[in-house]
Amino acid sequence: SQQGEEDPQALSIQEGENATMNCSYKTSINNLQWYRQNSGRGLVHLILIRSNEREKHSGRLRVTLDTSKKSSSLLITASRAADTASYFCATALYNNNDMRFGAGTRLTVKP
Protein backbone atom coordinates (compact mmCIF):
# COMPACT_ATOMS: atom_id res chain seq x y z
CA SER A 1 0.00 0.00 0.00
CA GLN A 2 1.09 3.59 -0.52
CA GLN A 3 2.56 5.29 2.48
CA GLY A 4 3.34 8.85 1.47
CA GLU A 5 0.93 11.25 -0.11
CA GLU A 6 2.21 14.40 -1.73
CA ASP A 7 0.34 17.65 -1.86
CA PRO A 8 -0.32 19.36 -4.19
CA GLN A 9 -0.55 16.91 -7.05
CA ALA A 10 0.57 19.62 -9.46
CA LEU A 11 2.22 22.99 -8.98
CA SER A 12 2.97 25.64 -11.58
CA ILE A 13 5.14 28.66 -10.74
CA GLN A 14 7.30 31.30 -12.41
CA GLU A 15 11.07 31.09 -12.48
CA GLY A 16 12.54 32.70 -9.39
CA GLU A 17 9.60 31.85 -7.13
CA ASN A 18 9.76 29.33 -4.31
CA ALA A 19 8.03 25.96 -4.53
CA THR A 20 6.74 24.07 -1.52
CA MET A 21 5.62 20.47 -1.65
CA ASN A 22 4.19 18.52 1.24
CA CYS A 23 4.18 14.86 2.12
CA SER A 24 2.10 13.03 4.70
CA TYR A 25 2.55 9.46 5.84
CA LYS A 26 0.82 7.00 8.11
CA THR A 27 3.21 4.84 10.12
CA SER A 28 6.39 5.33 12.11
CA ILE A 29 9.42 5.69 9.91
CA ASN A 30 13.17 5.32 10.08
CA ASN A 31 13.79 8.05 7.53
CA LEU A 32 12.08 10.00 4.78
CA GLN A 33 13.62 10.66 1.40
CA TRP A 34 12.82 13.05 -1.42
CA TYR A 35 13.44 12.18 -5.04
CA ARG A 36 13.12 13.98 -8.35
CA GLN A 37 12.05 12.36 -11.60
CA ASN A 38 12.47 14.02 -14.94
CA SER A 39 10.22 12.84 -17.74
CA GLY A 40 11.33 9.48 -19.08
CA ARG A 41 14.11 9.09 -16.53
CA GLY A 42 14.75 7.30 -13.29
CA LEU A 43 14.42 8.85 -9.85
CA VAL A 44 17.27 10.92 -8.51
CA HIS A 45 17.84 11.16 -4.78
CA LEU A 46 17.69 14.68 -3.32
CA ILE A 47 17.69 14.55 0.48
CA LEU A 48 17.36 11.95 3.22
CA ILE A 49 16.12 13.10 6.62
CA ARG A 50 16.14 10.74 9.58
CA SER A 51 13.35 10.44 12.11
CA ASN A 52 15.40 12.24 14.78
CA GLU A 53 16.12 15.21 12.50
CA ARG A 54 13.83 18.18 11.94
CA GLU A 55 15.41 20.06 9.07
CA LYS A 56 18.03 19.54 6.37
CA HIS A 57 19.41 21.73 3.63
CA SER A 58 21.11 21.01 0.36
CA GLY A 59 21.80 23.94 -1.92
CA ARG A 60 18.43 25.49 -2.81
CA LEU A 61 16.55 22.62 -1.16
CA ARG A 62 15.19 22.63 2.37
CA VAL A 63 13.40 19.67 3.88
CA THR A 64 11.54 19.62 7.17
CA LEU A 65 10.17 16.67 9.07
CA ASP A 66 7.48 16.71 11.75
CA THR A 67 7.12 13.19 13.13
CA SER A 68 4.31 14.22 15.47
CA LYS A 69 2.22 15.23 12.47
CA LYS A 70 3.71 12.55 10.23
CA SER A 71 4.50 15.11 7.58
CA SER A 72 7.40 16.54 5.65
CA SER A 73 7.87 19.45 3.29
CA LEU A 74 10.30 20.16 0.48
CA LEU A 75 11.06 23.77 -0.32
CA ILE A 76 12.87 24.73 -3.51
CA THR A 77 14.00 28.33 -3.41
CA ALA A 78 14.62 30.57 -6.43
CA SER A 79 13.26 27.95 -8.79
CA ARG A 80 14.60 27.48 -12.29
CA ALA A 81 13.05 26.04 -15.43
CA ALA A 82 15.38 23.05 -14.99
CA ASP A 83 13.59 22.23 -11.72
CA THR A 84 10.56 21.17 -13.75
CA ALA A 85 10.02 17.51 -12.78
CA SER A 86 7.98 15.25 -10.54
CA TYR A 87 8.97 15.15 -6.89
CA PHE A 88 8.35 12.12 -4.70
CA CYS A 89 8.64 11.51 -1.01
CA ALA A 90 9.47 8.02 0.16
CA THR A 91 9.31 6.62 3.66
CA ALA A 92 11.65 3.94 4.91
CA LEU A 93 10.28 1.74 7.64
CA TYR A 94 12.30 0.39 10.53
CA ASN A 95 12.67 -3.06 9.04
CA ASN A 96 15.27 -1.58 6.68
CA ASN A 97 13.81 -3.42 3.74
CA ASP A 98 10.76 -1.51 2.68
CA MET A 99 10.37 1.84 0.96
CA ARG A 100 6.97 3.40 0.28
CA PHE A 101 6.54 6.14 -2.30
CA GLY A 102 3.79 8.67 -2.74
CA ALA A 103 2.23 9.57 -6.08
CA GLY A 104 4.39 12.65 -6.47
CA THR A 105 3.97 16.36 -7.13
CA ARG A 106 4.34 17.50 -10.69
CA LEU A 107 6.23 20.84 -10.62
CA THR A 108 6.31 23.10 -13.64
CA VAL A 109 8.57 26.14 -13.55
CA LYS A 110 7.82 28.62 -16.33
CA PRO A 111 10.72 30.68 -17.70
Contacting residues toward other proteins, per CB under 8 A = 2, 30-31, 33, 35, 40-45, 48, 86, 88, 90, 92-93, 96-101, 103-104
Give the SS3 label for residue 27.
Answer: coil
Closer residue to other proteins (CB): 15 or 101: 101
The Cα 37–Cα 52 span in angstroms is 27
Q: Shortest approach of other proteins to residue 15 CB, angstroms?
A: 24
Closer residue to other proteins (CB): 30 or 67: 30
Closer residue to other proteins (CB): 25 or 35: 35
Q: Shortest approach of other proteins to residue 47 CB, angstroms?
A: 9
The Cα 80–Cα 84 span in angstroms is 8
Yes or no: say if 55 and 61 are a contact pair by the CB < 8 Å rule: no
Residue 106 bridge partners (DSSP) = 10, 86
